[in-house]
Structure formats: C-alpha cells, structure tokens
Structure 1
C-alpha cells in the first residue's frame, strides 16, 4: 500500500542545510494501522508530509495507493491525494461552516453532485457518531466532536489511506481513547490503511499493529508493536516503553529496597499473550525460598494481544536468586535485572 525507498530530505536554512530524513526505507501493508513515534524534531512530521505530497524528497521514491507521489506533477498529484485522507492535531475545520458543510467540502471540490454529497455526508455523520450535530458550528463542539468532524471529512472521498498527524495530542485522556477506538472501528469496517504519527507510546500500544521508531531523521527500530514492547532494542525505544511500564513510585521503592536489602535484586518480568493470564507468580513463590516484594505491575492490551510487566524485589542467596531467574526464563517470561536508577 505504501512503499518508501531510499528517501532523503534536506531543508536549506540561513544556518545551513538541515537533514530532516536520512535513508528512509519502509513498507506499510494494506489494511494495517502503522504507527510512527519519535520526539519533536525526529522527522516524523516531515515523513507524513512526503506521503501526501506536501513536500517532495530530495532523493528516493514514494508510492502511496499505487500512485508515485515523489515525482507527481500537479494534476496527477491532485488525483493521487483523493486516495489519501488527512486528519490534524488542531482539527483545521472551516469555522464559518456547519458540521455537514465541513464534511461536504472535499466532495464539493471533487465536483460531486449535491444529492450524492448529502447522502455521503449523512453516512459519515453516522459512522463517526455525530448524529444530531450536523447543523452545529465548530465553536459549538467539544474537542472530541471536532476531531470526529475532521475524521469524517478525511473519509469523504473514500480514500485508501488515512494519515493522522498527532490526531489525539490536543485531547484529554478519555476523549483520546474514544477517538482511538473510532479509528480502530473505521480500520476494521472499511479496511483503510492508517498511518499515525505520535510522541505517545500509549497511542501506539492501543491501536497500532506495527511501529517505526524515529530519531534524528532515521528509522532506528521497526517491528510488531507487541514484540517492540517486549524486546526494545534502541535506547529511545526502551525509554518510550519504560514511560508506560515504570512509574516514579516504582523507582523510589526500588531505591529504598536496595538500600535496605543490598544483596537483593530488582527484577522486571514481561509477559505476552496468554502468559498474562497464567498463575505463574503463585507457582514461582511456592517453588522458591526467597523473600519477594511486588513493587508494581500492569497489563496492557495491544492489537496483537496482551503485554504485562511486573517489578519484583527478590532476596536470598546468590545461588537461590540465580535459580529463581532461570526458572522464570524457562517459562517464556522476559527477565531483566534492573537497578534503582535505570
């Protein structure tokens, strides 16, 4: 559905040439929800602008929905963009138009007849859950309702790809969950490919099938979300995962316990899939003569299954602790000995 080959993008500024993207290679499958995560300046927004032709690469080739975007001229680019919907962080609605008229706007530009426009708008209002608000103006809507209008507008021309530019970062947590659930529902109902950029791992965890981690204009890690959560390779990826699985209280408790029990170990356990529902800790405690304190635990759902983490402090002889860690590893549990300052 989306292919990016050897793409580089530089910008010329008064301070010199800035490399925004370096040797980007990526294949995004039809029908998947693909996440791109990185901090500010990582290059993710530039990548998204290349996908809809708002920017052109200096080198490399980009195909989106069977159209080459990287070298398209104005007429062919306009046609290609009809296959690509876009939703924005700050909604970008027309404030003088009602909900109905905002959604209809891209259909008007495409020359769709009025009766067909009205039928399509009614269909989209129902799809995004805005029944009863068709004649409201953006100023009368909540943030979540505004984003629902933006999503409906992006879907108006029946695109094959939906690009989401930090689509939930301006919303509160409850509204964010509602919008993410809506995107998952749209993906399943319509089979549309969704590319979502964000700086929040919670968003990636909740709805994405695969994720690319970006840093300094490069893709530094790529994989299925569940596997990236379980085995993050790069420092930046580990930081994103830790933001979800560790809390300040956990770290403070770990520091306190290591001071009190200097011979003990802080252990991070990770579980995926059906392992999260097994009584493994009961078996572990019964089969080992250790002092065990549970510091923090959580189970998160991803599109591909559950991912759980559990932080323990264990104390015993070195041989007993080593045997306990080997016992856990033989049961397909991820085991990592951490320190209080990690």
Structure 2
C-alpha cells in the first residue's frame, strides 16, 4: 500500500542545508494503523507530508497505492490525492460553512451531484456522531466535534489512506480517547490504512499496530507496538515508553526507587497477556535463595494485546542473583536490569 525507499528531504536555509528526513525506508500494508513518533524537529511532519505530495523528497521514492507520489505533478497528483486524505491538529475547517457544508466541500469540488452529496454527508454525520449538529458553525463546536467534522470531511471521497498530523494534540485526554476510538472503528469498518504522527506514546499504544520512532530525521526503531513496549531498544524509545498515563512508571518514580533501594538488584520484568496465567514470580521466589520485593506493577493495553510490567528488587548472593535473572530470561519474559550493585 505505502512504500518509502531511501527517502531524503533536504531544506535550504540561511545557515546551509538542513536534512529533515534522512534515508528512510518503510513499508505499510493495506489496512494497518501505522504510527510515527518523535519529538519536535525529528522529521515526522515532513515525512507524512511527502505521502500526499505536499513535500517532494530530495531523493528516494514514495509509492502510495501504486502511484509514485514523489514523481507525479498537476492533474495526476490531484487525482492521486483523491485516495489520500488528511486531518490536522488545528482542524482547518471553513469557518463560514456549517458542519454539513464543511463535510460536503470536497464532494462539491469532485463534482458530485447534489442528491448524492446530501446522502453521503448524512452517512458521514452519523458515522462520526454529529447528529443534531448539522447546521452548527465551527465556532459553536467543541474541539472534539471540530475534529469529527475534519474526519468526516476527510472520508467524503472514500479515500484508501488517511493521514493524521498530530490530530489529537490540541484535545484533552478524554476527547483524545474518543477520537482515537473513532479512528479504530473507521479502520475496522472500511479497512482504511491510517498513518499518524504524534509525540504522545499514549496515542501509539492505544490504536497503532506498528510504530516507527524518529530522531534527527532517521527511523531509529521500528516494530510491532507490543514488541516496542515490551523491549524498547533505543534511549529515545525508552523515554517515550516511560511517558505514559498516570499510574505507570516515570523517570521520577524510578529515581525514587533507586534512592530507596541503593543495594541489591532492581529488575523491570515484562510479560505478555498469556503469561499472566503462569505463576512465574512465585516460582522465582521459591526456586532461589533471594529476598524479593515487588515495587511497582502496571498493565499497558495495545491493539494486539496487553503487556504487564513489574519492577522488583532482589537481594542475595552474586551467584543466586545471576541464576535467578537467567531463570526469568529462560521463561521468555522481558528482563531489564535497572540497577545491580
């Protein structure tokens, strides 16, 4: 569905060339919800804008639905964009038009007859949950309602790909979740391929199947969301994984744990949903001559299942500690040594 091959984007600035995207290779199959996460300046916005031709790569190719978007122009590009819609952080609605007329706008441009247009708009209003707000203007809507209008408008021409440019970052957490639920529903109903960029790991874990982590214009980590959460490899990915919703680990809480337990070994043990049925920890405690304290625990839910995480402190001889860690690793659990004295 979407293939990026050795894509590079260089901007010319007063201080010289600026490489925003550097040799990115990605393949996104049809029907996937694919996330791109990174801090400001990572290159993710430039990357997503190359998918619909708003930016042209300096090198490499961008193939979307069989069209080499990086090579086509004019009428051919406009036709290709019929299959590639986009929703934005700040909604980009027409403020002088009602909800109904905003949604109808792309259909008008496409030359759809009035009767068919009216029918399609009504279907979309129902789909995004805006019944009763058809004649309201954007100034009369909440942030979540505005984004629902944006989503409905983006779906008007029945695209095959939906690009989401920080689509929830201007919304409160509860509204964010409702919009993410809507995107999942749309993905399941229509098999729509969704590519979203964000700086919020909560968005990635809630709806994405796979994720690419970007830093300094490069994809530094790529994989199934479940695998990335369970075993983040790069320092930036580890920071993102730690920046989750209330109740989960934070750098501050880890620092507090380290201060409270300066001796012994602290482990972060992660396990997939099926492993919760196995008494790994009780076996672990009985099998080795070590003292064990469970310090923290949480469960993170993703589109492909849940991951449990335990932060545990163990004390014992060097030999018993080494053997106990090896035992946990043999059970196919994720084991990270945070501290070892």
- TM-score of the aligned structures, taking structure 1 as reference length: 0.94
Alignment partner, residue 256 of structure 1: 259
Q: Secondary structure at the match of 1:90?
A: coil
Structure 2 residues without counterparts, runs of 5 or longer: none
TM-superposed CA distance for 1:205, in Å, is: 0.9
Alignment partner, residue 61 of structure 1: 61
TM-superposed CA distance for 1:249, in Å, is: 5.3
Alignment partner, residue 180 of structure 1: 180
TM-superposed CA distance for 1:242, in Å, is: 2.5
Checking the alignment, whether the CA contact within 8 Å between 2:162 and 2:193 is kept in structure 1 is yes
Alignment partner, residue 204 of structure 1: 204
Checking the alignment, whether the CA contact within 8 Å between 1:276 and 1:299 is kept in structure 2 is no
Q: Secondary structure at the match of 2:47?
A: helix
Hey, what's the Cα distance between the residues in 1 that align with 2:265 and 2:163?
45
- 1:6-155 to 2 correspondences below 5 Å: 6-155=6-155
Hey, what's the Cα distance between the residues in 1 that align with 2:200 and 2:30?
24
Hey, what's the Cα distance between the residues in 2 that align with 1:253 and 1:290?
23
TM-superposed CA distance for 1:106, in Å, is: 0.6
Checking the alignment, whether the CA contact within 8 Å between 2:8 and 2:60 is kept in structure 1 is yes
Alignment partner, residue 213 of structure 1: 213
Hey, what's the Cα distance between the residues in 2 that align with 1:276 and 1:299?
10
Alignment partner, residue 314 of structure 1: 314
Checking the alignment, whether the CA contact within 8 Å between 1:276 and 1:307 is kept in structure 2 is no
Hey, what's the Cα distance between the residues in 1 that align with 2:276 and 2:98?
47
RMSD between aligned residues: 1.6
Checking the alignment, whether the CA contact within 8 Å between 2:88 and 2:167 is kept in structure 1 is yes
Q: Secondary structure at the match of 1:55?
A: coil
Hey, what's the Cα distance between the residues in 1 that align with 2:146 and 2:243?
29
> In the superposition, relative to structure 1, how do residues 283 and 250 fare at CA in structure 2: closer, same or farther (>3 Å)?
farther
Checking the alignment, whether the CA contact within 8 Å between 1:100 and 1:135 is kept in structure 2 is yes
Alignment partner, residue 241 of structure 1: 241
Hey, what's the Cα distance between the residues in 1 that align with 2:102 and 2:108?
10
Structure 1 residues without counterparts, runs of 5 or longer: none
Hey, what's the Cα distance between the residues in 1 that align with 2:58 and 2:318?
57
Hey, what's the Cα distance between the residues in 2 that align with 1:44 and 1:177?
22
Hey, what's the Cα distance between the residues in 1 that align with 2:115 and 2:151?
21
Checking the alignment, whether the CA contact within 8 Å between 2:270 and 2:334 is kept in structure 1 is yes
Alignment partner, residue 224 of structure 1: 224
Kindly tell me the number of residue pairs found equivalent between the two proteins: 337
TM-superposed CA distance for 1:126, in Å, is: 0.8
TM-superposed CA distance for 1:248, in Å, is: 4.6
Alignment partner, residue 303 of structure 2: 303
- TM-score of the aligned structures, taking structure 2 as reference length: 0.95
